[in-house]
Amino acid sequence: MAGSFPPIFRPQKPSSRPEEYPDCGSINSCGTIETEKPSLDITQRLEGRLAEFNTSSNLFKRWLLEIVSCLVSATCLGVVIIIYAYYKDKPMVTFGNLSTLTNVLGKVATAALIIPTTEALGQLKWNWFSESNAVWDFEIFDKATRGPWGAAMLLYRTRGRSLAALGAVLILLLLAIDSFLQQVIDYPTRWTVQSGDAEVRTIVRYEPGEIQEFRESMELQLDDVNTKSLLEKYFYGYGTQPAQFTGVSRTTTKSEVPYVSAEMTYSSSRFNFQSAIAYTSCAANQTCRTLTSMMSGYTLGTNDTIGETLLVRTLPLLSVLDKTPVYGNGSINFPATRNPIMDALIVSAADGLPSSVHRHEMPVAHECMLSFCVQSISSSYDAGIYQEKVLKIFQNETTGPFPWETQGVTTPTQNGTYIIYNEDININGPPDSPAFGTSNGTASDIMMLFDNAFPSFYIAKDDKSEPVLRYKTWLQGPAYTRHLDVNPWLAPNNVSAHFSRMATGMTEVMRAASGEYVDIKGEAYSEEVYVRVRWAWLAFPLVLLVLTVVFLGATIWKTSNNQSAGVWKTSAMPSLIYGLPEETQTQLSSSSAWDRADGGGKKVRVKLLPNVGWRVSGQSFLHPLPTRKAQPPPGWI
């Protein structure tokens, strides 16, 4: 029955009826013999040379192009590896235009792998049809040599059980090889030591210069003018914001610098003893201790009269007039610290309102201590921003005599107390560093500044009245009072953070003031971009190269035993030749047809005529070839 068999395509010879031939007009237009020009197109010459190699009896010559392509790919990848190995971990500046070169070599290596893969897959197509197979397999194989869609179809068609399936897999994997080659290197940044040194000026001894003032031959206590203006902002307000170091330079430096600094530590507690806070300025580690044993409730008698309400009280642990310790050696939780600038108790109403005091709610108590210290810091200056990181803090915790000495003074014109601080401040920093500190006179000038605000009282009549600060209690006569915009010591303000910023501000003031300086030299760093090679990403291209060589070798071995199919690879010539008349097939099928010595294939010209077929040069329309007798279609009886 018709249609029960797959169609069989048979080449038909041209019809013998002259009317079926078009009016050629000239013998050249009908594909007749034409004298070849000596300067044949270079592409035709190249194809002729390849055809000569393909029909050679030498196995190496038949696959010369594919073998050379594999060698080119391997060479390009080898050069890329050598370049990467040489410039690995080097600055990108030295790499320069070689990045473009490696990209080009990667592209060439990829393209070189395509040639042997497609050519070997094309040869397997002809080997596939040495046995009877479906006609559409021809189209599937042909598409597989052109791109991933055909390769995917061929992989599905063969179910992975044929050597051609490996070629299809390689065609698909070659799509991703560029992505892997691009991932082999990247350009991170790193800190690199520069040839020059970085210099940071650090203060060794804070000596702003003492100005002596006398009255009746007695030296008077003067305030340290550098820190006074800063401390008053913190005594009666929120202080100042930390200085921002900005600029336009992008030079980056790093160095580790020790310098004298002020440090604050404190402890706190509530009456229920359930919360405690530990904080140390400049990132120093300190232990928080509560004041449980010292909190005993009311110590004064009470009456039914409601007067002023105490909201905040600050109490130094050294008396103001004669500097005698109120408790221990002048500290509750920090007795080991020598030469403290200030150690005081700060107690505030729980919510900062008089009503909480009237409700007998527990207040919040802190012990805060400020002292001189030496900080070892790591500094950096990058993109106009200066930053510091404290690495270690050194304090003087040695034992020694009590430094304060007082003497009563009585003259016809005045009565007072002569206060002397007998010790210079000396703190040892890192090994091989000078002694840091300041003189006893400068230390006394700073310490006396705290007498204005410690002790002090912050009182209010009721919730609606404006509280008043009573301070400078060491002065005789009527009390000094002051209205504050904000009181930093009043809850719920963060007393610890406030003291921390105050210590930082004092440090900046001392470093900016005059004194004994040392220029500390350190290594200068700059951030540079360097070449980092990630070798793991090269595994995929190298594996593809090996698989391509294996696939090519297996194809050569498999097809070398089948001489009937010929070595046509991806050439379309077999489809053309076996569609020509038989005598022409015989002429073009022989190896001599492609011999460049006698010009074989160059003498044949063909032309496709509608409804007729191929017209071959040398066949005149005046002598048409005999037509094969019409035969019934296959499958008909």
The 3-state DSSP class for residue 591 equals helix
Amino acid making up residue 637: I
First and final C-alpha spacing in the chain: 8
**Is the pLDDT confidence value at 540 over 90?**
yes
**Is the pLDDT confidence value at 534 over 80?**
yes
Lowest mean pLDDT among 62-76, 459-473, 616-630: 616-630
Distance, in Å, from the CA atom of 472 to the CA atom of 450, rounded to the nearest integer, reads 10
The pair of three-digit structure tokens given for residue 167, joined into one six-digit string = 């070629």
Note the pLDDT of residue 55: 63
Note the pLDDT of residue 470: 92
- For 103-118, letters b (16+ CB in 10 Å) and e give eebbebbbebbbbbbb
**Is the pLDDT confidence value at 95 over 60?**
yes
pLDDT digits (tens, 9 = 90+) for 344-402: 888 888 888 888 888 888 888 888 888 888 888 777 766 667 777 788 888 888 888 99
- Mean pLDDT, residues 166-190 taken together: 88
Does 603 or 272 have the greater pLDDT score?
603
Note the pLDDT of residue 15: 44
**Is the pLDDT confidence value at 173 over 80?**
yes
Closest-CA residue to 448 (of 331, 545, 321)? 321
Note the pLDDT of residue 303: 63
Distance, in Å, from the CA atom of 23 to the CA atom of 7, rounded to the nearest integer, reads 33
Q: Are 567 and 123 in contact (CB under 8 A)?
A: yes
pTM: 0.52
- Mean pLDDT, residues 91-104 taken together: 82
Distance, in Å, from the CA atom of 461 to the CA atom of 493, rounded to the nearest integer, reads 21
Beta strands in 307-441 (DSSP E): 309-316, 340-348, 364-382, 385-394, 404-410, 415-421, 425-428, 435-438
- Mean pLDDT, residues 516-520 taken together: 73
Q: How confident is the model at residue 76 (pLDDT cuts 50, 70, 90)?
A: very high
Does 84 or 606 have the greater pLDDT score?
84
Average pLDDT, the chain: 74
Lowest mean pLDDT among 153-157, 192-196, 298-302: 298-302
Does 618 or 167 have the greater pLDDT score?
167
- Mean pLDDT, residues 205-222 taken together: 75
Distance, in Å, from the CA atom of 83 to the CA atom of 94, rounded to the nearest integer, reads 12
Lowest mean pLDDT among 299-308, 385-394, 511-520: 299-308
The pair of three-digit structure tokens given for residue 456, joined into one six-digit string = 């002090």
Tokens 């200085």 sit at which residue?
243
Which residues does 554 contact at the CB level (< 8 Å), separation at least 6? Answer: 163, 166
Note the pLDDT of residue 18: 43
Note the pLDDT of residue 563: 58
Q: How confident is the model at residue 283 (pLDDT cuts 50, 70, 90)?
A: very low
Helices then strands, each counted (H, E), the chain: 16, 21
Note the pLDDT of residue 591: 53
Note the pLDDT of residue 511: 80
Note the pLDDT of residue 637: 45
Amino acid making up residue 590: S
Amino acid making up residue 258: P
Share of the chain above pLDDT 70, in %: 67
Distance, in Å, from the CA atom of 531 to the CA atom of 177, rounded to the nearest integer, reads 21
- Mean pLDDT, residues 123-139 taken together: 71
Q: Are 481 and 470 in contact (CB under 8 A)?
A: yes
Distance, in Å, from the CA atom of 627 to the CA atom of 32, rounded to the nearest integer, reads 20
pLDDT digits (tens, 9 = 90+) for 412-464: 777 778 888 999 988 887 777 777 888 888 888 889 899 999 999 999 887 78
CA angle, 469 as apex, 466 and 475 as ends, to 5°? 150
Neighbours of 575 (CB within 10 A): 11
Name, of 12-21, 250-259, 318-327, the range with top average pLDDT. Answer: 318-327
Q: Are 362 and 272 in contact (CB under 8 A)?
A: yes
Note the pLDDT of residue 617: 67
Note the pLDDT of residue 325: 92
The pair of three-digit structure tokens given for residue 623, joined into one six-digit string = 């002598």
pLDDT digits (tens, 9 = 90+) for 47-74: 667 666 666 667 777 788 888 999 999 9
Note the pLDDT of residue 245: 44
Lowest mean pLDDT among 40-44, 85-89, 140-144, 285-289: 285-289
CA quadruple 59, 64, 68, 70: dihedral, nearest 10 = -50
